[in-house]
Structure 1
Amino acid sequence: MRLALLPIAIALATPIYNRSRIIGNIKKFRIAVPSDLHFGELPLTYGPIQDTESALLLRSMLREERPDLVILNGDLITGEDVQAESATSSLEILFQPMVEANVPWASTYGNHDSKYNLTREAIFAVEQTYDLSMTRHGPPDIDGLTNYYIPLHVAGAPAIILWFFDSRGGSDVRSNVDNIPNWVSSKTATWFLDTSASLTGRFGALHHLVFVHIPPLPFFDSQRRYFKDGSDAGQVFPGLNEDVPMAVQSESALNNSTYDGHDQPFIDALLARRVHSVWSGHDHGNSWCSKWTDETADASDGVVVEQSYRKPFLCFCKHSGSGGYGPWQRGIRMIDLHYVDGRMEVDTWVRMDDRSVINKVSLNETYGRDKYPPFDTAAHGSEFFSRLKKTQEGNAVLSK
C-alpha cells in the first residue's frame, strides 16, 4: 500500500510516513538500527541458512520492540559473495520482515554493498520498488549514493533531522581490489553544512542524528581514550569492545591501510552543526556508546583535560546478521527519541538474538559519569560462542 502524502501542518498522534518525511506529534519515536546484516553469502552452502537466521532476528525485533522506523546501517549484502542473479532475492528476504510488519525503513550503504558482483545502484533500484523504503539517492554532484535526510515533523515543522551519509568503500564491479574511497567526501560535508544551515534558517534550532556505516576517526580516539588495553569501559560506557584497534574512514587499501585524514571535513561539519550523536557499524566486535573525546595537553603539567562543552555522542550499532566476520552474539541497536517542548532525550539499548535487552543507557548531560551494569562478555561476547562451539562439538560426539 502506498503511503499518502499529507499536509505537514497537521499534528497527528501516530506518525504518518511518506518517502521524504515523517509527520506527527512525536512525543516518543522508536528506531531500530540493524547493521552489517551481510545477506547473500555463499548461496550454494551455508548462506541461505544464515539469511534465514538474520530474517528471524529482524522479525523477533519487530515483534518485541515495535519500532516506528528501521534504519539499515550499511553492509546489507556481502557483494563479493552474492551471485548477480540472486542479489535481488537476497534483498527481498531482507526486506520481507519490514513488509510483513508494515514498518518503513531507510538505508545507508556500506563497503560490502559495492563489490565484485554488486553495486549500490543495483541495491537502490530494488529498494525503490518498495513503498515502505524511505531510502533516497543523494544529489548527483556529491560523492556516494545514500546522502540524504529525513525530517521528523512536530506540529507542522521539522524538529529532529535524521541524516544519512555514504562512507562508500568497496570495489567496482568485476574488480577484486578495493578501489573506492572509504570516507564521507568533502563535497558531501559541504552539502551537509549548506543544507543544515538552510533548514535551521527556515525552522530554527533543530536536533540532528547522523547514521553512517564506517565510523569516522573520533570513534578510534574515544576507544583509545576510554577503553584501556583493549578492555571494555565497565559501568560508564557499557558494551562490547573486541575490535581493537577498530577500522575507521580514510583507512583502506587505497592508502596501505593507514589513516590519512580524508574524513576531516566530515568531522569538522559534525562539530559545526552540534550534532547530537553519530551511529556507525562496520566494526563487528564493538557495540558501545561513548563520548567524543576532545583532549588537550596543559602546557604546565602535561595533564590531559577535556573541553567542557558537549560534542556528539558516538555509538556503535551491533553486528546483526549471521553473515559477516566475528564470533559475537548478534543483536540490534534500538533508539528511543523523546521530544517534549523543544527538548530531545535519547535512550538506547541492544536487543539480542536471545531476546535479552542489554546496555541500556541515556545519552544525556551526565552520560560518562552515570553508572550502568557492565557488559557481560561471558554471556554476550566471543566467550559465549566459544562455549557454544564446545557444546555443539560435544553434542556431535555424543550423537555419533
Structure 2
Amino acid sequence: MRALHLCSIFLGLVDRAVVNGAPQQLLYRTNEHADLDPYPGRPRLTFRPDGTFKITVFSDLHYGENPWDEWGPEQDRNSTRLVKAVLNDEKPDYVVLNGDLITGENTFRENSTTLIDEIVAPLNQAGIPFSSSHGNHDNQANITHAEEILREQKVAPLLSYTRTAPAGVGGPGGPGNYWVPIYRRKNDRAPVLILWFFDSRGGFSAGPNSTRLPDWVDASVGGWIRSETRAMNAAWGSAEKRGALAFVHIPPHVATDLQNNFDSAENPGLNADSLDGGGSVQATTDPANSGKDNTFWDAVNEHIQNLHAVISGHDHGDEWCARDRSKDVIFCFGKHSGYGGYTGDGWGYGVRNLLFTSADPEVGVETWIRMEDGETHARITLNKDYS
C-alpha cells in the first residue's frame, strides 16, 4: 500500500507542475495507481507466445479525393483492396495508420467523417487492433484531426486505441498525442514496449474562415513527454527493459540533413522525394521552429529511452531509414499505401512492416517495405549498429 500511495503522490506533483505550465488536466489524473493503464477495461495488447510482435504501417491512404467523379471513389476502392490483401497476407498484431487518412480539401463537409468507416472496415473485419496519427490533409476546411479521432472511436470501439491528449497539449489542430502500452503477457504489471504517437498538425482549420495551421509538433508536447515518462518510471520502474517506437506524420526537420548525407547502400529504399522543398518536413512554414534543437525533438530523444525509431509518412516518394547521429536515433519513412495522393512513375504502393523478435529492447527490430503484390525490399534491422 505504501508503494501505491507514493506513486499517487508523485503523479499528483507532476499534474500540478504541468498545469502551471498550461495544460488543465493530465491523461493519468484518473489513473493514480501503479498500473498507469490508459485503457482500463480494454484487452491488453501483448506479444505473441513465441515472443514476437508485428506492426504493419499504412501511410497516406488519402481517401475522399474527387468524390464528384469516378476517379476518386475508384482510388478508394483500390486502397481498400490493398489494405485487405496486406492484412490477409501479413496478419499483423497491430496496425498503424500514419497520417493523411483523408484528403480533407476534396471531400464534402457533410459526410467527410464517414470515410473513416470505410478505412477501418477491413480492420474491424479482421479483428486487428490499431491506432492512428494524423496529417496535414486531415486538417482542412472539411475535416479535423479531432473529428477523425471521434469517428474512429465510434466505429471501432473495441479495436481503436487512438485517443486525444490532455487539454492544453498539442496546440491548435493537434490533439492526437498519446501512447499505447504493449505487454509481454496480459497479466504483467508493466509493459515492455510503448508506442508513441505525435500530432504534427499542418493543413488548415475547418469552416468557411479557414486559416493555416502550424506544421510542426507543438512545443507543449515536449513537457507532456517529460511528465508522461516520469509517471511511467514511477509506476513501472526504470525504463531500461522497456522499448519504444514513435510515429508522427510529417517528418522532423532533421530528415532533410539525413537525406542530403546518407549512403543509399547503407540506407536502402526509394529516395525519389526531395525534402528541400517547402512543406516536406516539419516547420517549413515558420523557420523559427525548424531547428534541430526544437522542444519536441529534444524531448523525444532525451526522455524516451530505448527508442528503436521514429517513423513518418507525408513524402510519398521516400521509404528509407537513416540515423540522426546528433541525437543517436533512427528515423524512417513508411511507404505510400493509398491510391489517393500524388505519386510518381514506378513508386508503387505498399506498407512498412516492423517485426519485434523479442520483448528485450536490446534486440533489434526487423523492418522492410512490402509492396501490394507481395514483393519486399529495403530489409534492415533497427539496432545500435545500423547506419
Q: Same fold (TM over 0.5)?
A: yes
Deviation, 1:21, is: 4.7
What is residue 232 of structure 2 aligned with on the other side? 199
Which of 223, 229, 246 is the equivalent residue of 1:210?
Answer: 246
Post-superposition CA distance 1:293-314 (Å, at most 9, x none): 33xxxxxxxxxxxxxxx71111
Is 1:92 the counterpart of 2:124 in the alignment?
no
TM-superposed deviation, 1:60: 0.7
For 1:124 and 1:134, how far apart are their aligned partners in 2? 10
Give the C-alpha shift of residue 179 in structure 1: 1.3
Q: Secondary structure at the match of 1:152?
A: strand
- State the Cα deviation string for residues 35-60 of structure 1 (Å, max 9, x = none): 11000001122111000000111111
**Aligned partner of residue 254 in structure 2, secondary structure:** helix
Correspondence for 2:371: 352
For the residues of structure 2 that align with 1:331 and 1:78, how far apart are their CA atoms? 18
Helix, strand or coil for the counterpart of 1:158?
A: coil
Hey, what's the Cα distance between the residues in 2 that align with 1:91 and 1:250?
27
Greater than 6 Å deviation, 4+ residue runs: none
Using the alignment, how far apart are the partners of 2:96 and 2:297 within structure 1?
A: 22
Say whether 1:171 aligns with 2:188: no
What is the CA–CA distance in structure 1 between the aligned matches of 2:162 and 2:193, rounded to whole Å? 17
Q: Runs of 5+ in structure 1 lacking a partner?
A: 1-7, 10-15, 227-232, 295-309, 369-400
2:162 to 102, 113, 135: 135
Distance 1:188 1:136 in 2: 15
User: In terms of mean alpha carbon deviation, does 260-269 or 331-340 score higher?
Assistant: 260-269
Residue 194 and residue 17 in structure 1: after superposition, are their counterparts in 2 closer, same or farther (change >3 A)?
closer
User: Partners of 1:209 and 1:361 in 2: how far apart?
Assistant: 16
TM-score by length of 2: 0.80
Give the 3-state SS of the residue equivalent to 2:111 in structure 1.
Answer: helix
Find 1:115's aligned residue among 140, 158, 162: 140
Counterparts in 2 of 1:269-280, with a 5 A limit? 269-273=299-303, 274=305, 275-280=307-312
> Is contact 1:33-1:317 (8 Å) kept?
yes
* Alignment-mate amino acid for residue 120 of structure 2: F
Secondary structure of 1:326's match?
coil
Aligned partners of 1:262 and 1:176: how far apart in 2?
33
Q: Aligned in 2, Cα 1:17/1:234: closer, same or farther, shift over 3 Å?
A: farther
The answer as to 2:344 corresponding to 1:319 is no
> Does the 8 Å CA contact 1:184/1:263 hold for their aligned counterparts?
no
Distance, in Å, in 2 between the alignment partners of 1:160 and 1:339 is 11
Instruction: Provide the TM-score with structure 1 as the length reference.
Output: 0.77
1:345 to partner: Cα distance: 2.3
Moved more, 212-221 or 332-341: 332-341
Distance 1:342 1:289, change over 3 A: closer
Structure 1 pair 324/343, CA: closer, same or farther in 2 (3 Å)? same
Q: Partner residue of 1:223?
A: 259
In structure 2, the CA distance between the partners of 1:22 and 1:236, relative to structure 1 (3 Å rule), is: same
1-structure distance, mates of 2:148, 2:364: 33
Structure 2 regions of 5+ residues with no counterpart? 1-33
Q: Specify the structure having the higher radius of gyration (Cα).
A: 1
Q: How large is the Cα RMSD of the aligned pairs?
A: 2.4
Matched letter for residue 264 of structure 1? N
- Written as runs of structure 1 = structure 2, the 5 A alignment for 1:379-394 is none
Classify the secondary structure of the residue corresponding to 2:112: helix
Distance 2:301 2:348 in 1: 33
Q: Are 2:130 and 2:160, in contact at CA under 8 Å, matched by a contact in 1?
A: yes
How far does the alpha carbon of each residue in 1:120-164 deviate from its partner, in whole angstroms, 9 at most, with x for none? Answer: 222112111112111011111212211100011124111111000
> Quick check: 1:33–1:70 contact (8 Å CA) kept in 2?
yes
Quick one: structure 1 residues 18 and 61, their matched pair in 2 at CA, closer, same or farther if it must change by over 3 Å?
farther
Q: Which residue of 2 aligns with 1:234?
A: 264
Give aligned-pair identity as a percent: 38
Match of 2:23 in 1: none
CA distance in 2, matches of 1:215, 1:358: 22
AA matched with 1:140: A
| Counterpart among 357, 376, 379 of residue 338 in structure 1 | 357
Inter-partner Cα distance in structure 1 for 2:317 and 2:118:
25
Report the CA distance between 1:70 and its aligned residue: 0.6
> Contact conserved, 1:74 with 1:281, CA < 8 A, in 2?
yes
- Which residue, out of 62, 72, 76, partners 2:87? 62
* Rounded Cα–Cα distance in structure 1 between residues aligned with 2:282 and 2:136: 11
Contact 2:104–2:140 (Cα < 8 Å) also in 1: yes
Decide whether the 8 Å contact of 1:250 with 1:262 is kept in 2: no
